[in-house]
Structure 1
Amino acid sequence: MLEYVKTILQKVSFNKHLFERELIKGIRYLMPAELEEFKDWCYDSFGLSHRPILNRYFRPAY
């Protein structure tokens, strides 16, 4: 499921509204063990373009 969610986010990353909607779905679908890897991947892949959205749904790491 993790790879599927990553693929979807890559395809909708051009639109912030679609990106946010699919991010929410992805977080719901993933197992707790996958969420940390998913979070890291999201910040690595979309941190520059979608950081405010990511910060809304992931706790910032201090």
Structure 2
Amino acid sequence: MLEYVKTILQKVSFNRYLFERELKKGLRYLMPTEIDEFRDWCYDRFGLTYQPILNRYFKPTY
């Protein structure tokens, strides 16, 4: 499921509204063990563009 959610986010990354909606849905589908990997991938891939949205859905790691 992780790869599917990544694919969807890449496809909708052109639109802020769609990106946030699909990120929210994707987090519901993932297993708790996949969330850390997904968070890191999201920040690597979309951190420059959508950091405020990502910060809303992921707790900061220190």
**What is the TM-score normalised by the length of structure 1?**
0.98
Gapped regions of structure 1 (runs ≥ 5): none
CA offset digits 1:7-32 (Å, max 9, x no partner): 00000001000000000000000000
Distance of 1:33 and 1:60 partners within structure 2: 17
Indicate the SS of the match to 1:14. Answer: coil
Q: What value does the CA root-mean-square deviation take over the aligned residues?
A: 0.4
Gapped regions of structure 2 (runs ≥ 5): none
How many residues matched? 62
